[in-house]
Amino acid sequence: MNLLIGIAGGTGSGKSTIAKRIVETMGEARAVLIEQDAYYRDRSHLAPKERERVNYDHPSAFDAPLLIAHLRELKSGRTIPRLSYEYGMHIRVETGAVIPPRSVIVLEGIMALHDPDLRALMDRKVFVDAAPDVRFIRRLKRDLIERGDTVESVIERYLTFVRPMHSAFVEPSRQYADLVVSGEEPLQSSVDQILSNIAGRR
Ligand SMILES: Nc1ncnc2c1ncn2[C@@H]1O[C@H](COP(=O)(O)OP(=O)(O)OP(=O)(O)O)[C@@H](O)[C@H]1O
Ligand SMILES: [Mg+2]
């Protein structure tokens, strides 16, 4: 018997932080983390300039069939290859490592609750809520520090892609959530709400 928990929410809401803490709390013998970002479609066939023009905030930027196939494998008790996505190059690589099946599978990503076929696999659906200004500030800091972007390029991408796609696809997926947690309150409080929700279900 295993449990798939989907965690969605806007960029900078705190999904990755919450999902990691859940897996750490349960322990790697019981829980495993799947990042939807690792399932971005590979763009190695496109010229570098064209790769920059892709809308990475649209649902079609992700390889949903592959993610669904992998989750089915894990749910059936089989190991899957660990994928990794390189943001700068927009390429997806197999790391050579594997992800073992575990009784709790935590999937996190902006579009985790968008796809009906993906939702159908989930036992619990969580949406992480945080105000847009807080999310933008977090995103700006991350892209400047971790991805070496400029303030102008982060703002441009936010206004062109991130913000409209959030309104069109991410925010509407909140309606499918069984549980909405705060991404602004202390981390442990939101993690505890999710953990007690899971415990109640079993
Ligand atoms: N509850 C919280 N309180 C304060 N800061 C937080 C909280 N949760 C996350 N953060 C911080 O906010 C930033 C963004 O969090 P995180 O990377 O988890 O967001 P995300 O939802 O995964 O965003 P993205 O979709 O862009 O990957 C991080 O710097 C993280 O440390
Ligand atoms: Mg994240």
pLDDT digits (tens, 9 = 90+) for 14-57: 999 999 999 999 999 999 999 999 999 999 999 999 998 999 99
Tell me which residue has its CA closest to atom 25 in ligand 1. 11
Distance, CA 19 to ligand 1 centroid (Å)?
Answer: 10
Share of the chain above pLDDT 90, in %: 91
Average pLDDT over every residue of 76-80:
97
- State the pTM of this model: 0.96
Q: Assess contact for 71 and 107: CB atoms under 8 A.
A: yes
CATH of domain 3-201: 3.40.50.300
Average pLDDT over every residue of 109-118:
98
Write out residues with Cβ below 6 Å of ligand 1.
9, 11-17, 110, 138-139, 183-185, 187
Distance, CA 14 to ligand 2 centroid (Å)?
Answer: 7
Distance, CA 7 to ligand 2 centroid (Å)?
Answer: 10
Q: Please name the residue that has the structure tokens 């390189």.
A: 86
Distance, CA 135 to ligand 1 centroid (Å)?
Answer: 8
What pLDDT, on a 0 to 100 scale, did the predictor assign at position 66? 98
Phi and psi, residue 32, nearest 5°: -140, 145
Q: Please name the residue that has the structure tokens 């070496």.
A: 148
The whole-angstrom separation of Cα 99 and Cα 132 is 33
Q: Of ligand 1's atoms, which has the minimum distance to the CA of residue 186?
A: 1
Residues 6+ apart with CB under 8 A from 67: 34, 36, 39, 107, 118
Distance, CA 9 to ligand 2 centroid (Å)?
Answer: 9
Ligand 1 pocket mutation pick from 17, 163, 192 by most atoms within 8 angstroms of CB: 17
pLDDT band, very low/low/confident/very high, at 88 (cuts 50, 70, 90): confident
Tell me which residue has its CA closest to atom 8 in ligand 1. 14
Ligand 1 pocket mutation pick from 22, 127, 138, 140 by most atoms within 8 angstroms of CB: 138
Both tokens of 168, joined, read: 């069109």
Q: Please name the residue that has the structure tokens 């703002």.
A: 155
* Chain centroid offset of residue 175 CA: 17
Predicted confidence (pLDDT) at residue 131 exceeds the cutoff of 60: yes
| Closest among 134, 132, 127 to 108, alpha carbons compared | 127
